[in-house]
């Protein structure tokens, strides 16, 4: 008889993020998933000093640069997490701890065979719902019309979320990628969803496919 894999599923190999230890005293907590070079994160932190903002990226050199720029500017209300975005939402963040997620320009993975690599999939909606406070919001922007449609379809099929007014960033909060797309004259698609009271997980995240890191770029 074939033996089960001896590799532990990722959700059993991580402990959670001790968010309360560094969010105490702030009015709200937001998370910038795939923060990149941090143009949005740093501008937002300056504009909203009462908001603790977690920047998440898998590229450490990008986080190192944001860290240096933030400290030079005296910004204290950010923390940087060097980790996979899917793991952060799926495992590390405590329940009902986040007011706002920002997911700006995740990789659209346009080929059908790569759809499974997209961040926005049914299992991640469980994770967003678990980690968002009631009424908390996810703001999304993409340059890819197909991915935008897929995101709208995904959320409209999930009664735990309701569409809400898309986030129009002020000029200084436009991300590095947004500036590139705008310079090329490309259209930006925005969508936002609020978390409603609702049932717990609707999807199993312990299936093997979900154990792969979810890539957003």
Ligand X SMILES: C[S@@+](CC[C@H](N)C(=O)[O-])C[C@H]1O[C@@H](n2cnc3c(N)ncnc32)[C@H](O)[C@@H]1O
107 has catalytic annotation: yes
Residue 169 interacts with ligand X (CB under 6 A)? no
- Alpha carbon separation from 24 to 29, 88, 95, 153, 155 (Å, rounded): 10, 19, 16, 36, 31
Query: Contact region for ligand X (CB under 6 A) — 7-15, 142-150, 165-173, 208-216?
Result: 208-216
Q: Distance (Å, rounded) from C-alpha 178 to C-alpha 68? A: 23
Biggest CA–CA distance in the chain, Å, is 61
Q: Are 96 and 132 in contact (CB under 8 A)?
A: yes
Residue 215 interacts with ligand X (CB under 6 A)? yes
Residue 189 interacts with ligand X (CB under 6 A)? no
Which of the 8 DSSP states describes residue 25? T
Least distance in angstroms from the C-beta of 122 to ligand X: 17
Among 53, 56, 66, 92, binds ligand X (CB under 6 A): 56
Residue 129 interacts with ligand X (CB under 6 A)? no
- Alpha carbon separation from 82 to 23, 66, 89 (Å, rounded): 18, 12, 13
Q: Half-sphere exposure of 177 toward its Cβ, with a 13 Å CA cutoff?
A: 18
Size of the residue set binding ligand X (CB under 6 A): 22
Residue 140 interacts with ligand X (CB under 6 A)? no
- Which of residues 51 and 84 has its CB atom nearest to ligand X in the complex? 84
Q: Distance (Å, rounded) from C-alpha 105 to C-alpha 152? A: 15
Residue 104 interacts with ligand X (CB under 6 A)? yes
Q: β-pairing, 189-195 with 161-164?
A: antiparallel
Least distance in angstroms from the C-beta of 39 to ligand X: 6
- CA-based angle 203:217:111, to the nearest 5? 75
Least distance in angstroms from the C-beta of 166 to ligand X: 15
Residue given tokens 């908001």 in the structure block: 51
What length does the chain have? 217
Least distance in angstroms from the C-beta of 186 to ligand X: 13
Residue 181 interacts with ligand X (CB under 6 A)? no
Residue 30 interacts with ligand X (CB under 6 A)? no
| C-alpha 100: how far from chain center | 9
Among 94, 150, 176, 211, binds ligand X (CB under 6 A): 176
Q: Name the active-site residue from 4, 18, 67, 107.
A: 107
Instruction: List, by residue number, the catalytic residues.
Output: 107
Contact positions toward ligand X, by CB under 6 A? 34-36, 56-59, 62, 84-86, 104-105, 175-178, 213-217
């Amino acid at each position: 008889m074939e033996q089960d894999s001896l590799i532990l599923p990722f959700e059993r190999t991580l402990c959670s993020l001790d968010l309360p230890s560094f969010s105490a005293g702030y009015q709200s907590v937001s998370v910038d998933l795939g923060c990149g070079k941090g143009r949005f994160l740093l501008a937002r932190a300056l504009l909203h000093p009462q908001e603790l903002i977690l920047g998440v990226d898998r590229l450490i050199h990008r986080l190192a640069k944001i860290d240096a720029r933030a400290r030079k500017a005296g910004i204290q209300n950010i923390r940087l997490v060097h980790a996979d975005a899917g793991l952060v939402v799926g495992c590390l963040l405590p329940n009902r701890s986040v007011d706002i997620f920002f997911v700006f320009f995740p990789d659209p993975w346009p080929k059908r065979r790569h759809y499974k690599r997209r961040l926005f999939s049914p299992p991640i909606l469980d994770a967003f719902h678990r980690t968002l406070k009631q009424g908390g919001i996810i703001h999304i922007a993409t340059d890819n019309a197909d991915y935008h449609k897929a995101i709208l379809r995904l959320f409209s099929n999930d009664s735990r979320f309701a569409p809400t007014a898309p986030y129009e960033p002020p000029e200084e909060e436009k991300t590095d990628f947004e500036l590139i797309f705008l310079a090329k004259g490309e259209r930006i698609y925005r969508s936002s969803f609020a978390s409603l009271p609702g049932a717990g997980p609707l999807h199993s995240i312990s299936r093997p496919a979900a154990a792969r890191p979810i890539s957003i770029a």
